[in-house]
Chains A and B, each alone.
Chain A
């Protein structure tokens, strides 16, 4: 089993649609969780951290289910500019370091 596994994608959605990305992780002791966005041929950039209670940033909502070792990202009212690859990222150790990136899910938003 991969350490961090994401929906393979790509997702093709019309503008205005709601789209959900799923991510599972294998290490139950993982400490912190993030969603990064990567535009084509660009570097990854932090989209949002994922808090245990869930958190929202505008049209984006992130959820964490530690019992199921599952993370999700919901994008509402999709825009053309949301087209990118979304990377699920898990930090496995608090004081040490082991950050695992998922392979990413590509999103295409069409007019």
Chain B
């Protein structure tokens, strides 16, 4: 069972470069999310999607863009990378947001911007 798959696992970017973090899930979940986690901090929501073609900003969307053309895929685009974007990025998906709804996370992408 693949669950939520993120690629790449690690990446070093130079300031000003761009990249796309890939996320795909095989559970047919409508809800997908991108979080970032800085050292010693909780997860902060970057963007989320409640279904194909629908995306919305989370708490920290600046410097990022997303798209959701299919139920399975939810890529995160970083334009003009900055050192402040050095973080661990987690993609997650869930069937809903209710009490018995578990969010499943990918293994994370460790991004360093130098």
Q: Check A32 for interface membership: any CB of B closer than 8 A.
A: yes
Q: How far is the CA of A107 from the CA of B76 in the complex (A)?
A: 32
B99 near A97 with CB under 8 A, answer no
The answer, yes or no, to whether A60 is at the interface (CB within 8 Å) is: no
In the complex, are the beta carbons of B42 and A4 less than 8 A apart? yes
Interface residue tally for chain A (C-beta within 8 Å): 23
With an 8 Å Cβ cutoff, the count of chain B residues facing the other chain is 24
Q: How far is the CB of A104 from chain B (nearest CB, A)?
A: 6
A6 to chain B, nearest CB (A): 8
A80 CB → nearest B CB, Å: 23
User: Per-residue CB proximity of B74-101 to A under 8 Å, as 1/0?
Assistant: 0000000000000000100000011111
- Asked if A61 lies at the interface with its beta carbon under 8 angstroms from chain B, I say no
Give the contacting residue for A97; candidates B43, B48, B105, B106; CB below 8 A. B48
Interface SS of chain B: helix, strand, loop or mixed? Answer: loop
A97–B31 touching, CB < 8 Å: yes
Known: A32-B99, A44-B90, A99-B97. A87 touches B106 (CB 8 A): no
Interface residue B41 (Cβ < 8 Å from any Cβ of A): yes
Cα A103 to Cα B37 with chains together (Å):
9
User: Is B97 a contact of A44 with CB atoms below 8 Å?
Assistant: no
Q: Which residues of A contact B42 (CB under 8 A)?
A: 4, 87, 100-104
In the complex, whether B7 has a CB less than 8 A from a CB of chain A is no
Q: How far is the CA of A94 from the CA of B101 in the complex (A)?
A: 12
Q: How far is the CB of B27 from chain A (nearest CB, A)?
A: 14
Binding site for A on B (CB under 8 A): 31, 33, 35, 40-45, 48, 50, 56, 90, 97-103, 105-108
11 A-B pairs with C-beta separation under 8 A? A32-B101, A43-B90, A43-B108, A44-B90, A44-B105, A51-B99, A91-B98, A99-B33, A99-B97, A99-B103, A102-B42
